[in-house]
């Protein structure tokens, strides 16, 4: 069985951690995860 983890961030937490999460995702070849964070940051920052 595969485990799945779901995280929930406040807007301030996303602003603080989002850029690092993007870099980490891309460095691990998890492009879709990185793009997901990018999209959420763009929506948050308008």
pLDDT score of 20:
97
pLDDT tens profile 7-39: 899 999 999 999 999 999 999 999 999 999 999
Tell whether pTM > 0.75: yes
* Token output for 36: 């997901």
B/e letters for 3-39, b = 16+ CB within 10 Å, e = fewer, are eeeeeeeeeeebeeebeebbeebeeeeeeeebeebbe
pLDDT score of 39:
97
Asked whether the CA dihedral 31, 35, 38, 40 is positive or negative, the reply is: negative
Q: What does the alpha-carbon distance between residue 25 and residue 31 come to, in Å, rounded to a whole number?
A: 6
- Confidence band of 46 (pLDDT split at 50, 70, 90): confident
């Amino acid at each position: 069985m595969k485990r799945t983890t779901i995280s929930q961030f406040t807007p301030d937490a996303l602003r603080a951690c989002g850029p690092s999460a993007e870099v980490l995702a891309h460095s691990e070849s998890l492009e879709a995860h990185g793009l997901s964070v990018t999209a959420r940051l763009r929506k948050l920052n308008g």
